[in-house]
Structure 1
């Protein structure tokens, strides 16, 4: 399940840099921070707090967000560090709801190049 032109954001200092200097948008289920990285590829970081649920719940949300990006990677602009934070309200959501929330935030950040035919979530 490798991304074509992306890698994972793993180091805490990379997350902190995106939190501090990136822009953020929020919807019902997710928070997305984005910052240009000058690398010509995207780096994706996913954060799910223990407040959201146990490790099974957290890993499920992590997989849903990662899969949302993987399926739509071709419409995302390159050269960004993107950190996605799952909110407590995301816990019981379906893949389609998480995917729609993810794409909605991608559009708000102007990261999505081609228009997707997904419904918006506020």
Structure 2
């Protein structure tokens, strides 16, 4: 991940949750917020409801790999938080990839989809 850093601080996650825009499908929820820099910051969250530490870490590895392989198609200057839903524990790599790319298109993360991210507290199902 060349132009990407990790979101690590709880405060950073909370800011994205509170002021970012949320997009969801059956496997994951993506929160997106502009960060006014030239790099993206990626955060991954999976609660204990998803599974044990092996399952949660596998989910994180899958999301990082999907992001790494498709990093060149995303806009810069965004904070992105990916949250696992309980169905993600049984999802394959291709299911996670399909969900991530679908939500990336829906949320205009891809280049040439110019939409400004406004503050929102909506959480779709």
TM-score surpassing 0.5? yes
Q: How many residues align?
A: 113
Give the Å deviation of 1:114: 6.5
In 2: Cα distance, 1:114 partner to 1:53 partner: 37
Contact 1:48 1:58 in 2 (8 A): yes
Taking structure 1 as the reference length, the TM-score comes to 0.90
2:90 corresponding residue in structure 1: 92
In 2: Cα distance, 1:7 partner to 1:50 partner: 24
1:64 corresponding residue in structure 2: 62
Flag structure 1 segments of 5+ consecutive residues without an equivalent.
116-122
CA root-mean-square deviation: 1.2
- Higher-RCO chain (CA-CA 8 Å, sequence separation at least 6): 2
Taking structure 2 as the reference length, the TM-score comes to 0.88
Flag structure 2 segments of 5+ consecutive residues without an equivalent.
114-125
SS in 1 for 2:81: strand
Q: Deviation above 3 Å: which 4+ runs of structure 1?
A: none
SS in 1 for 2:70: helix
